[in-house]
A = this chain, B = another copy of it.
Amino acid sequence: MAVKRFVLPPDCHGEGEITLSGNDFHYLCRVRRLKGGDSVPAMLADGSRYFLSLTERGTNTCRARVLPDPDTDRQGESGLEEIPPIEVYQAVPKGRALDDVVRRCVEAGVTRVVPVYTDFSVATAQPESSERNRREERLQRIARSAAEQCGAVRLPEIAPAVELSQIPSFAAKEDAAFFLHQEPLAEQSLHGYLEAAIRKVVLAVGPEGGFSPPELRLLEHKGFCPVYLGPQVLRAENAAFFAVAAIRVLLLERESWTTRNRQT
């Protein structure tokens, strides 16, 4: 079972003393109920491991010492690192559904989430604004707290939102790039796509109305392949989680299955 690690704040870069307030104070002193001398497993965003030892508890802030984790050599504590990273390009859904998508993606072990503006997205790209910054910060907070709760081995990256045309191409053979498609047009099964040794899985998830025909062409041009995961109509906040769950289990059990084509 994964160890739940406190994610150290971005201004902390390793060993030393830090002061914590706000959500961090609340989590450590109220939720985890740490007292002076208590310590918890912690990590930097990149997954490097430490212990955090509480030295002083105030009313709204606390002081803590960041110590090396003696077990730091023990690789693959949770096995998560043995699975190739999974990136999700998620069409921005309406309302606050993106919060749920990010939370569940982190929980499902996604390593990077990139919100994408698409033709059928309700939300549209905004120029650099304080509202946009606030949104990005909220998603970062959500990702951090989800990572702590689910015992992630590193803090997943939540990238700033981009237009679909800005997403990179994944032409390399070792990158398995898919988009979800509602019809069983896919030439290959998910098993087929994930059979070869892969370096990274990239998943594009459309909005409620799906990707538009020009967007589908663009995605195929960028090396994304259609994948059909069944006839159920998934809500925007569930589609990525559904697909990632299946991808994770196929990768986790990669040694136990082979496709029928290979067999002959």
The residues of A with any CB-CB pair to B shorter than 8 Å are: 1-2, 4, 78-80, 83, 104, 107-109, 149-152, 182-184, 189-192, 229-235, 238, 241-243, 245-246, 248-250, 252-253, 255-261, 263
Contact = CB atoms under 8 A, between A and B. Distances in A.
B241 A238 contact: yes
A256 to B, nearest CB: 4
A186 B189 CA distance: 26
A84 to B, nearest CB: 13
Nearest to A2: B231
A248 B229 contact: yes
Contacts of A256: 189, 191-192, 259-261
A2 B234 CA distance: 11
Nearest to A242: B245
Nearest to A82: B231
A252 B229 contact: yes
A124 to B, nearest CB: 25
A1 B233 CA distance: 8
A246 B256 CA distance: 15
A107 B238 contact: yes
A234 B260 CA distance: 32
A257 B190 CA distance: 10
Given A2-B232, A104-B238, A107-B233, 19 more contacts: A79-B184, A79-B231, A80-B231, A80-B232, A107-B234, A108-B242, A150-B232, A151-B232, A151-B233, A152-B232, A189-B253, A191-B253, A192-B256, A230-B248, A230-B252, A245-B246, A256-B259, A258-B259, A258-B263
